[in-house]
């Protein structure tokens, strides 16, 4: 078992043991579900909108070279400085370079999963810069020294009282006087407010990039994305190269879908569409706008035409909310930037199949993710594809042998039937051991009873079965 | 001018190599006409659009006031009295300027962001007045740009954002808002185009909605009817 | 929300020769489900056939990612069901293997056509009765409070949602109570249940709590594997003196 796999099993088992925590998470998810349903019903045709959304993202990806070139021409014409990074290290280096050039001290950051992916905040903090996460949820997990629990709702695992204690301890005595969400939000507002004015640099992520116009789009509810990109004199945006959409009409389709799938809202509060640094004649805005476009494994996924649709992902987090695995192990157990079904599909591509093959395996393949995905990524089937690829590239010798033997047996009905009978006999023989440490079926019996094996199999019954003539039933009816 | 270590050429090569196989099963890429059949519906009449905008405003906690050309200044004056505004910011020479005057906060002493400003002073203002590019009925949104509506910070830094719009600016949906951007600004896009949909909000603590997380705690939209 | 697959106009004559597909674990552990299917179909006047030599559909190897090992057992079924007019499966999951996964498993192999051909002739039991035969009332009587669990493969691969419910609603005396988590996975998932035993257990716990909250006497499903998980969890963990029993849909429909 790889190290991440062992860590995953341990973390997941521990979380499963915390019944109250799981109940709290379920309750929170129930609220999402109700709003989400109302959100979908507002559409004239949500299902067809999913098809259209998938087509728009698919168009951008299948002709990505052209759309990206168009995008660049337009956004660079307005003075944007674009940098392409093959991997996380290159992207980090570039950000650090810009920060040094400007002799920055304080950096305000609005929520960015790509930033998480490249460990941006940690890197900058390690170098001694003050990095303030401005999204409330991100701010909370930053103060706790944690990673986001969910890509859209980073602090959804915390109760108000835990946040109150955190604020009182980390912000100071003026904060955390009440555990009311309203009061806690105002604590954070006050703590962060000055930083917008002091910061030399604002960092954001990117939700969409529009090829037609050469603009990026950042969606936030709190307005932190607006403030982080308005006041500091330098704005750095980090985006994965899959964020392209062909045109503004596609944006008009995708924005409400992102909001609906992400939170059940009809539209995120602030939709910020940026095409460059401050232009001539404008009142304010950053003097410099840097855009970093990240590969970090994405072109490899693009090359996999079977799983290319995983790059359609708009990071709404719906598949995570709907996933019964996530509901029971929480977001931190995965040990990845992207948790839940989308994480289990893409992490093996981004970080290595051999080490991360346990993620696609740790699924019951129920398909709730695929059903909910607003851009119709074939998520649960890609989990199967990842399993197939892992088995081909890094076969587990024992498992392969066992399955081959099973297949051999399945080709011999008489033997297969005999094996079934012996298996049932063995179950009876082992019954005193069931549930104990010596139990060969412990993975099952630890928490579940085994069915009582019947004396007669179906095929044995069939041999004795005389078909009831349909007329017999008619006779019965006449009696 | 590209920075050293820029991987642009490498990444373009990788992309071209990766998409040599195009997918056969992709549905057709749609257009505005198609999307309009799928997205939430908007009825055509101006009255219906205004009603829809009002419905969204109620849900979003946006204060929406529709007033006659002769009344809107009085609405602002009573709002100013109720809110106790002492300082304001605005932009330019249009409706935003008229609004601050109507609020009893003369343009001569208020902050005009188009004339260069100190962000500290803007932060201390009680209210920011702007006009807008459009209102979007489908979503209850205000469409603003950094060129026409006083820059980037005016509409998001003060705790109360007041928007003055005219009835003719009420577009039906997001697609129409995008078309407007394209037609009005396509040749030279402003650096920022933004949709504000309700006041600032968060649900990050136990999914309970709290207004005024970072941006304005209050958003007021005054629509001047023709 | 799952939408039912489109109901096709009846393509079958009044009397159909139905070839049963009895997955291996049903054969050995839940024969009563298969027996009940035979009873229901014969009562409706159809001819039931059980082609000899059925073993496993290959899904364990397929799900584990060992597709090369999955193909030999899976391809055996093409021959076994070569002449079948309608293949009806006792399990939504194994039905999905034949109907949905086989075409992908055999794409580009010499069995491609056979896989597609069989896929077009396979139905899960309730889907076959309602969508193909147009039967909603099988004349059963079962005076009990029942809740229905949607097996994920049946629900999301085969789009079976209303079919079993329509059948249950027409059973005399039966009271159908929906559980809040009807569409949530029970946590079985084949070897997942053992490889990730703790997660699987937690999923079963959530599922069962939801089923228990309905006060149902029976938890019914069209998938015996889900019922093994649900029944297994209840058997070990239920705190109530008379926990609900699990029962295959066909068994309910076979009662009189």
The yes/no answer on whether domain A56-296 falls in CATH 2.40.30.130 is no
pLDDT of residue B222: 98
| From B19, B156, B175, residue closest to A226, measured CB to CB | B156
Show which of residues 355-374 on chain A sit within 8 Å of chain C, judged by CB atoms. 361-368, 370-371
* Torsion A239-A241-A247-A251 (CA) sign: negative
pLDDT at C10: 56
Mutate to test the interface with B, among A109, A190, A217, A249 (most CBs of B within 10 A): A249
CATH number for the segment(s) C145-254? 3.40.50
Domain boundaries, chain A: 56-296, 397-478
| CB-CB under 8 Å, C231 with A449 | yes
Q: What is the mean pLDDT of residues A48-77?
A: 98
- Alpha carbon distance C243, B28 (integer Å): 52
The residue in chain C having the minimum alpha-carbon distance to the alpha carbon of residue A23 is: C206
Q: What is the DSSP string of A48-93?
A: HHHHHHHHHHHHHHHTHHHHHHHHHHHHHHTT-EEEEESSHHHHHH
Q: Residues C100, C105, C109, C110: what is their CA dihedral angle, to the nearest 10 degrees? A: -50
Q: Which of A137, A192, A230 comes nearest B152 by C-beta?
A: A230
Instruction: From chain C, pick out residues whose CB is under 8 angstroms from the CB of A422.
Output: none
Residues near A264 by beta carbon (within 8 Å), at least 6 away in sequence: A32, A34, A35, A36, A37, A38, A39
pLDDT over 90 at A53, yes or no: yes
**What chain B residue is nearest to A277 in terms of C-alpha separation?**
B191
| Smallest Cα distance from A310 to chain C, Å | 19
Residue with more model confidence, A470 or C240:
C240
Per the CB < 8 Å rule, is C31 touching A461?
yes
pLDDT tier for residue B14 given thresholds of 50, 70 and 90 = very high
Position A68 confidence tier, pLDDT thresholds 50, 70, 90: very high
C236 touches chain A (CB under 8 A): yes
Domain ranges of chain C: 17-132, 145-254
The CATH number of whichever domain residue B83 belongs to comes to 3.40.50.10420
Q: Is A447 on the interface with C (CB under 8 A)?
A: yes
Cα-based distances in Å from B141 to A245, B96, C40: 22, 18, 59
pLDDT of amino acid C4? 61
- Give the HSE-up count for residue A223: Cα atoms under 13 Å, Cβ half-sphere: 32
List the single range of A243-247, B96-100, C87-91, C241-245 with lowest mean pLDDT. C241-245
Contacts A404 to C, Cβ<8 Å:
66, 69
pLDDT at A438 over 90: no
Per the DSSP assignment, residues forming a β-bridge with B219 are B62, B161
- Does residue A230 belong to the interface with chain B, where contact is any CB pair within 8 Å? yes
Cα–Cα separations (whole angstroms), residue C236 to A444, C205, C206, C240, C243:
11, 11, 15, 11, 11
Question: Tens of pLDDT along C20-40?
Answer: 999 988 999 999 999 999 999
- Tell me if A276 and B194 make a contact (CB, 8 A cut-off): no
Query: Does A362 sit within 8 Å of C199, measured CB to CB?
Result: yes
Q: Cβ contact (<8 Å) for A410 and C38?
A: no
Interchain CB distance below 8 Å, A61 and B19: yes
- Residues of chain C in contact with residue A413, where contact means CB-CB under 8 angstroms, are 52-55
Kindly list the residues from chain A whose CB atom is less than 8 angstroms away from the CB atom of residue C233: 447-448
The answer to whether the CB atoms of A153 and B204 lie below 8 A apart is yes
Q: Which residue of chain B is at minimal alpha-carbon distance from A87?
A: B7
Q: Do A252 and B173 touch (CB under 8 A)?
A: yes
Q: What is the pLDDT of residues A95-136, one digit of tens each?
A: 999 999 999 999 999 999 999 999 999 999 999 999 999 999
How far does A58 lie from chain B, in Å, by closest CA? 7
Q: Do chains C and B touch (3 or more CB pairs under 8 A)?
A: no
- Name the nearest CA neighbour of B53 among B185, B196, B201: B196
Closest CA of chain A from C200, distance in Å = 8
Q: Do A137 and B41 touch (CB under 8 A)?
A: no
Residue in chain C nearest A467 by alpha carbon: C42
pLDDT band at A252 (very low <50, low <70, confident <90, very high): very high
Confidence grade of residue C1 (pLDDT, cut at 50, 70, 90): very low
pLDDT at A127: 96
In a domain, B31, yes or no: no
Q: How many CB atoms lie within 10 A of CB A11?
A: 16
Q: Is the pLDDT of residue B38 over 50?
A: yes
A457 and chain C: CB distance < 8 Å anywhere? yes
Residues of B with CB below 8 A from A246's CB?
29
Confidence of residue A470 (pLDDT cuts 50, 70, 90): low
| Measured distance CA(B207)–CA(B20) in Å, rounded | 45
Q: In terms of pLDDT, which residue wins out, A442 or C48?
A: C48
Interface check for C27 against chain A (CB to CB < 8 A): the answer is yes
Strand ranges of the sheet holding C175-176, from the earlier edge strand across to the other edge: C175-176, C145-149, C218-221, C245-248
The answer to whether the Cβ–Cβ distance between B38 and A43 falls below 8 Å is yes
pLDDT at position A442, please? 85
Q: Do B26 and A277 touch (CB under 8 A)?
A: no
Provide Rg for chain B, Cα atoms.
21
- Within 8 A of A367 by CB-CB distance, chain C residues are 152-153, 155-157
Chain B residue with Cα closest to A38: B40
**Residue C23 touches partner A, C-beta closer than 8 Å:** no
What whole-number distance in Å separates Cα of residue C17 and Cα of residue C251? 21
pLDDT, tens only, A387-432 = 999 999 999 999 989 998 988 998 998 898 888 888 888 877 777 7
| C119 interfaces chain A, CB cutoff of 8 Å | no
Q: How many CB pairs under 8 A join A and B?
A: 314
Report pLDDT for C154.
Answer: 96
Chain A, 259-318: which have a CB under 8 Å from a chain B CB?
263, 266-279, 281-285, 289, 293, 295, 299-300, 302-303, 305, 308-309
Q: Report yes or no: A45 at the C interface, CB cutoff 8 Å.
A: no
CB atoms within 10 A of CB B52: 22
pLDDT at C6: 52
Residues near B2 by beta carbon (within 8 Å), at least 6 away in sequence: A82, A83, B8
- Looking at residues A440-465, what average pLDDT do you find? 89
- Closest-CA residue of C relative to A420 is C28
Q: Which residues contact A199 (CB under 8 A, 6 or more apart)?
A: A104, A106, A107, A108, A132, A228, A231, A232
**Is C26 at the interface with chain A, CB within 8 A?**
yes
C157 interface with A at CB cutoff 8 Å: yes
- Give the H/E segment covering residue B162: strand B160-166
What pLDDT sits at residue C58?
Answer: 93
> A47 touching C, CB under 8 A?
yes
- The yes-or-no verdict on residue A477 having pLDDT over 50 is no
Contact of A223 with A131, CB cutoff 8 Å: no
**B41 in a structural domain:** no
Q: What is the widest separation between alpha-carbon atoms in chain C?
A: 55
pLDDT value of residue B75: 97
| Average of per-residue pLDDT across A348-365 | 96
Q: Do B175 and A163 touch (CB under 8 A)?
A: no
Give the tens place of pLDDT for each residue, A285-318: 999 999 999 999 999 999 999 999 999 999 999 9
Maximal CA-CA distance, chain B: 66
In a domain, B21, yes or no: no
pLDDT at C168 over 60: yes
Structural domain that includes position B76: 46-199+206-224
Interface touch A407/C54, C-beta < 8 Å: no
d(CA A371, CA A318): 10
**Which of A94-103, A433-442, C150-159 comes out lowest in average pLDDT?**
A433-442
- Touch criterion met for B and A (3+ Cβ pairs within 8 Å): yes
Mean pLDDT of A363-385: 98
Chains near C, with 3+ CB pairs < 8 A? A
CB contact under 8 A, B207 and A32: yes
Q: Give backbone dihedrals phi and psi of A412, rounded to 5 degrees, phi first.
A: -125, 85
pLDDT for residue C116: 97
For residue A49, the chain B residues in CB contact (below 8 A) are: 35, 38-39
Which residue in chain C is spatially nearest to A417 when comparing CA positions?
A: C55
* Region A191-201 average pLDDT: 95
Question: In total, how many domains does chain B have?
Answer: 1
Which chain C residues are Cβ-neighbours of A461 within 8 angstroms?
31, 34-35
A335-355: average pLDDT: 97
Q: pLDDT, tens digit, for every residue of B65-78?
A: 999 999 999 999 99
Contact status, residue B178 vs residue B187, Cβ threshold 8 Å: no
Give the mean pLDDT of C203-226. 96
- C-alpha triplet C162, C168, C173: angle, nearest 5°: 150
Q: What is the dihedral of CA A261, A263, A269, A275, to 10 degrees?
A: -40
Q: Predicted confidence band at A441 (pLDDT cuts at 50, 70, 90)?
A: confident
- Please check whether residue B104 lies inside any domain of the structure: yes
């Amino acid at each position: 078992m790889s190290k991440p796999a062992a860590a995953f099993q341990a973390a997941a088992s521990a979380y499963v043991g915390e019944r109250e925590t799981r109940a709290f998470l379920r309750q929170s998810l129930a609220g999402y579900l109700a709003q989400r349903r109302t959100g979908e019903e507002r559409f004239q045709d949500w299902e067809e909108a999913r098809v259209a959304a998938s087509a728009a993202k698919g168009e951008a990806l299948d002709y990505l070279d052209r759309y990206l070139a168009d995008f660049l021409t337009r956004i660079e014409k307005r003075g944007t400085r674009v940098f392409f990074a093959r991997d996380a290290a290159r992207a980090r280096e570039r950000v650090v370079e810009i920060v040094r050039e400007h002799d920055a001290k304080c950096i305000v950051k609005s929520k960015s999963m790509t930033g998480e992916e490249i460990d941006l905040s940690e890197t900058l903090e390690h170098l001694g810069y003050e990095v303030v996460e401005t999204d409330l949820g991100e701010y909370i997990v930053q103060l706790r020294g944690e990673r986001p629990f969910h890509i859209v709702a980073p602090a959804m695992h915390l109760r108000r009282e835990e946040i109150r204690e955190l604020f009182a301890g980390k912000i100071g005595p003026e904060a955390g006087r009440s555990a009311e969400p309203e009061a806690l939000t105002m604590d954070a507002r006050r703590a962060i407010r000055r930083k917008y004015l002091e910061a030399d640099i604002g960092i954001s992520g990117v939700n969409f990039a529009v090829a037609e116009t050469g603009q990026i789009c950042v969606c936030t509810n709190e307005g932190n994305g607006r403030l982080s990109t308005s006041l500091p004199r330098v704005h750095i945006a980090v985006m994965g190269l899959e964020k392209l959409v062909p045109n503004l009409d596609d944006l008009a389709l995708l924005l409400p879908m992102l909001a609906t799938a992400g939170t059940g809202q009809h539209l995120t509060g602030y939709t910020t569409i940026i095409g460059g640094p401050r232009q001539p004649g404008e009142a304010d805005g950053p003097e410099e706008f840097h855009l970093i476009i990240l590969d970090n494994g994405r072109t490899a996924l693009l090359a996999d035409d079977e799983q290319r649709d995983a790059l359609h992902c708009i990071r709404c987090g719906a598949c995570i909310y709907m996933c019964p695995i996530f509901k029971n192990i929480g977001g931190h157990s995965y040990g990845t930037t992207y948790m839940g079904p989308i994480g289990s599909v893409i992490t093996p591509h981004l970080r290595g199949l051999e080490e991360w093959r346990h993620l696609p395996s740790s699924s019951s393949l129920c398909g709730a993710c695929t059903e909910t995905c607003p851009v119709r990524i074939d998520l649960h089937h890609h989990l199967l594809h990842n399993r197939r690829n892992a088995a081909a590239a890094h076969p587990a010798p024992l498992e392969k042998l066992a399955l081959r033997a099973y297949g051999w047996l399945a080709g011999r009905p008489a033997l297969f039937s005999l094996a079934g009978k012996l298996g049932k006999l063995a179950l009876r023989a082992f019954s005193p051991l069931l549930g104990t440490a010596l139990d060969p079926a412990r993975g099952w019996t630890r928490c579940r009873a085994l069915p009582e094996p019947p004396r007669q199999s179906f095929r044995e019954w069939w041999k004795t079965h005389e078909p009831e003539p349909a007329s017999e039933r008619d006779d019965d009816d006449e009696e | 001018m590209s920075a050293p270590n820029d991987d642009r050429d490498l990444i373009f090569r990788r992309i071209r190599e990766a998409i040599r196989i195009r997918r056969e099963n992709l549905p057709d890429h749609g257009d505005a006409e198609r999307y309009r059949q799928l997205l939430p519906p908007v009825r055509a009449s101006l009255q219906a659009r205004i009603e829809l905008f009002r419905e969204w405003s109620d849900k979003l906690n946006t204060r929406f006031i529709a007033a006659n050309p002769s009344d809107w200044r009085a609405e602002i004056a009573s709002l100013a009295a109720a809110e106790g505004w002492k300082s304001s910011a605005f932009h330019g020479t249009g409706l935003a300027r008229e609004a601050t005057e109507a609020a009893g906060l003369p343009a001569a002493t208020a902050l005009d962001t188009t004339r260069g400003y100190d962000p500290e002073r803007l932060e201390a203002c009680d209210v920011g007045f702007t006009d807008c590019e459009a209102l979007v009925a489908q979503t209850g949104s205000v469409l603003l740009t950094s060129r026409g509506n006083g820059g980037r910070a005016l509409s998001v830094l003060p705790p109360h954002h007041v928007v003055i719009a005219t009835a003719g600016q009420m577009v039906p949906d997001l697609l129409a808002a995008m078309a407007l951007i394209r037609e009005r600004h396509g040749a030279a896009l402003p650096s920022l185009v933004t949709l504000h949909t309700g006041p600032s909000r968060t649900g990050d603590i136990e999914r309970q909605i709290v207004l005024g997380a970072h941006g304005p705690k209050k958003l007021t939209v005054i629509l001047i009817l023709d | 929300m799952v939408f039912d697959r489109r109901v096709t106009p009846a393509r079958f004559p009044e009397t159909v020769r139905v070839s049963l597909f009895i997955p291996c674990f049903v054969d050995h552990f839940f024969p009563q489900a298969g027996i009940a299917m035979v009873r229901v179909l014969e009562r409706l006047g159809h001819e039931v056939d059980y082609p000899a030599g059925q073993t496993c559909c290959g899904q364990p190897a397929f799900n584990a990612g060992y597709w090369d090992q999955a193909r030999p057992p899976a391809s055996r079924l093409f021959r076994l069901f070569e002449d079948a007019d309608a293949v009806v499966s006792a399990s939504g999951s194994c039905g999905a293997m034949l109907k949905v996964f086989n075409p992908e498993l055999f794409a580009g192999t010499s069995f491609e056509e056979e896989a597609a051909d069989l896929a077009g002739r396979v139905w899960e039991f309730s889907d076959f009765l309602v969508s193909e035969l147009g039967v909603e009332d099988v004349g059963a009587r079962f005076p009990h409070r029942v809740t229905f669990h949607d097996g994920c493969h049946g629900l999301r691969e085969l789009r079976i949602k209303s079919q079993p419910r329509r059948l249950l609603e027409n059973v005399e005396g039966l009271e159908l109570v929906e559980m809040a988590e009807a569409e949530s996975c029970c946590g079985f998932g084949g070897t997942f249940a053992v490889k990730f035993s703790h997660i699987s257990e937690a999923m079963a716990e959530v599922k069962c709590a939801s089923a228990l909250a309905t006060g149902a006497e029976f938890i019914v499903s069209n998938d015996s594997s889900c019922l093994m998980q649900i029944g297994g969890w209840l058997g070990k963990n239920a705190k109530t003196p008379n926990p609900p029993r699990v029962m295959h849909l066909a068994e309910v429909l076979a009662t009189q």
